[in-house]
Amino acid sequence: MQKTQKTAKDEYGVEWVTIVSSADGHQGHISADQAKKIVEEAGASPRCKNSG
């Protein structure tokens, strides 16, 4: 998947977006910084943006 993301991003300008919809304090919630770290460790290409 990471290769597909990179190709789509580099060749077609596609942006992959990570959405964390769990509320703070509830199961599955992570901060923007935690999401960025997970993305970097996975070698994925989504864009991380904190909407809050």
Q: Which helix (H) or strand (E) holds 4?
A: helix 2-12
Measured torsion, CA atoms of residues 39, 45, 47, 50, in degrees rounded to the nearest 10 = 0
Buried b (16+ CB within 10 A) or exposed e, 14-45: eebeeebeeeeeeeeeeeeeebbeebeeeeeb
Q: Which residue has the tokens 């989504």?
A: 46
pLDDT of residue 47: 59
Question: pTM for this one?
Answer: 0.56
Is it the case that residue 49 has pLDDT exceeding 70? no
Give residue-wise pLDDT tens across range 2-43: 788 888 888 988 887 777 789 999 998 998 888 888 888 888
pLDDT of residue 26: 93
